[in-house]
């Protein structure tokens, strides 16, 4: 069976085989877990598919919104029993650019899972790539809509795209996620242009009241450098890898 056939069937079956994993997002000052990113995994009776592979397949099949909705619903179902005592906890979901161009995004408001989320005081964060903010007005409208239902907006993998600072100013995201590549550089000093770029982003974010999250933190040294720069949030193997819900619920009980 081809990957495309397996993915098509999984979507048709309401998402059987898609498993959300959760990676903690930490505040760097207090080192508390105040959110998580949802990262999808896939396995069926033929085995696993790598995320990069099935994500590309989903896009080729034009099933992006179907998939995003499945992941959001599964994540909220997993998390709502855990998060009742953690108001303000943010659940970050990766959106496709196509999701923001899809009229159906507006139907989520009627979805019972959103009531579930609101009842559990879970707030969603929509992660979009830099390239996703360049395009036309339908995207701006969707982002406005997401904001109106209490979803915050994060620009993902920041620094790998066009990094149009004017557009960042115009969009005013709640959060900028700095790509791992820049975090790797912090302690190796291999590319001074990149360190300079980080400083520009941090200045812009602080001037605009935008929070910053560092991605892919793997070492104590990186963490120290980021805390020195007063970066708000961090995520990476140094804290924890993405994990299934059983492990994540233990993590929340034991570590946070």
Nearer to Na ion, 46 or 237 (CB): 237
Among 130, 156, 179, 185, binds Mn ion (CB under 5 A): 156
Instruction: Give me the residues that bind Na ion (CB under 5 A), please.
Output: 156-157, 215
35/216 with CB nearer ligand G:
216
| Least distance between ligand G and beta carbon 113 (Å) | 15
Site string for Mn ion, 52-91 (x = CB under 5 A): ----------------------------------------
Specify the residue, 130 or 156, whose C-beta has the smaller distance to ligand G. 156
The interface mask with ligand G, positions 147-166, x = CB under 6 A, is ---------xx---------
- The full 3-state SS of the chain, as one line of letters, equals CCHHHHHHHHHHCCCCCEEEEEEEEEECCCCCEEEEEEEEEEEECCEEECHHHHHHHHHHHCCHHHHHHHHHHHHHHHHHHHHCCCCCCEEEEECCHHHHCCHHHHHHHHCHHHHHHHHCCCEEEEEEEHHHHCCCHHHHHHHHHHHHCCCEEEEEEECCCCCCHHHHHHHCCCEEEECHHHHHHHCCCCCHHHHHHHHHHHHHHHHHCCEEEECCCCCHHHHHHHHHCCCCEECCCCCCCCECHHHHHHHHHHHC
User: Interface with ligand G includes 94 (CB under 6 A)?
Assistant: yes
Residue placing its CB nearer to ligand G in the complex, 3 or 51? 51
Residue 208 CB, shortest distance to ligand G, in Å, is 21
Is 127 or 232 the residue whose CB approaches Mn ion more closely? 127
C-beta of residue 244 within 8 angstroms of C-beta of residue 23:
no
Compute the least distance from the CB of residue 72 to ligand G, in Å: 9
Please report, as residue ranges, which positions from 96 to 115 form the binding site for ligand G (by CB under 6 A): 96
173 binds ligand G (CB under 6 A): no
- Residue ranges binding ligand G (CB under 6 A): 23, 39-40, 51-52, 55, 71, 94, 96, 156-157, 215-218, 235-237, 242
- Residue ranges binding Mn ion (CB under 5 A): 94, 127, 156
């Amino acid at each position: 069976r081809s990957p495309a056939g397996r993915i098509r069937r999984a979507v048709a079956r309401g998402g059987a085989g898609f498993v959300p994993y959760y990676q903690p997002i930490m505040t760097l000052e207090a080192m508390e877990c105040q959110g998580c990113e949802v990262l999808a995994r896939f396995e069926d009776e033929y085995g696993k598919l790598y995320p990069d592979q099935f994500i590309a397949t989903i896009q080729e099949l034009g099933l992006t919104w179907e998939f995003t909705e499945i992941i959001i619903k599964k994540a909220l179902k997993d998390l709502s029993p855990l998060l009742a005592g953690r108001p303000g906890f943010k659940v970050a979901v990766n959106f496709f650019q196509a999701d923001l161009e899809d009229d159906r995004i507006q139907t989520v408001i009627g979805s019972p899972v959103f009531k579930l989320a609101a009842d559990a005081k879970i707030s969603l964060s929509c992660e979009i790539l830099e390239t996703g903010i360049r395009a036309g007005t339908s995207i701006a409208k969707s982002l406005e809509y997401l904001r109106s239902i209490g979803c915050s907006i994060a620009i993902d993998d920041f620094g790998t795209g066009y990094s149009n600072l004017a557009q960042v100013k115009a969009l005013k995201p709640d959060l900028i996620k700095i790509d791992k590549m820049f975090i790797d550089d912090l302690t190796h000093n291999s590319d001074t242009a990149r360190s300079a770029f980080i400083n520009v982003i941090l200045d812009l974010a602080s001037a605009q009241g935008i929070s910053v999250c560092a991605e892919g933190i793997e070492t104590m040294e990186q963490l120290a450098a980021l805390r020195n720069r007063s970066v708000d949030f961090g995520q990476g193997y140094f804290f924890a890898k993405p994990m299934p819900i059983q492990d994540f619920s233990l993590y929340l009980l034991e570590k946070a």
